[in-house]
Amino acid sequence: MTEESGSAVHSVVADVDLWVFLALLLSCLVVNVRHTVHIPTSAILRLAGLLLRTLGRYVGTVKSAVGVMDSIEAETMLLVFLPALIFECAFSTDWYSFKREIEQIALLATSAVVVASILTALVIQQVLGFGEVFDWYAALMLGAILSATDHVAVVAQLKEVNADKRLETLIQGETLASEVRL
């Protein structure tokens, strides 16, 4: 490896490190701000991330970090974050409650997702009138994407309102079974 390509790799690693540091710093700030502003954490994080990305295009060092993160493909991000999300979900799930609720979890992860996907495709095709834009296969795929449970946001809300442990286990189990099925 030449010295020039070695410094380019070092620069990319430094940019990714900077981006991760800024994202973690921003997340810590948002969690602290959330206690004074009554807006969900996920909404504040999205706005703060958009602000960081927009302003980062004009700040010297952050500009290159934003450029590197923009060049990463979506599949790579999925392969980086999905195993961590599955591990966290599996690690935080109560095994005894999961075993007790396995029938309902299986029903939610299969039949309920299929029904929600089909109903969403019907709404896209018939109610919203996107039949010319989306054929049935595309509408069903969009329905499957939109009917997936967002584990992180839902479990955070459940913990915030001190929901029943059984409900939390059902949602975590359904999400875990759906993610593993992917």
Q: How far apart are CA 34 and CA 45, in angstroms?
A: 10
Query: Is residue 116 predicted with pLDDT exceeding 50?
Result: yes
What is the CA 171 to chain-centroid distance, rounded? 15
* Alpha-carbon torsion (63, 82, 167, 144), positive or negative: positive
Q: How far apart are CA 38 and CA 178, in angstroms?
A: 31
DSSP state of 149: -
Under the banding of pLDDT at 50, 70 and 90, the label for residue 119 is: very high
Task: Name which residue leads in pLDDT, 56 or 140.
Answer: 140
Collect all residues with Cβ–Cβ distance below 8 Å to 110 and sequence separation of at least 6.
177
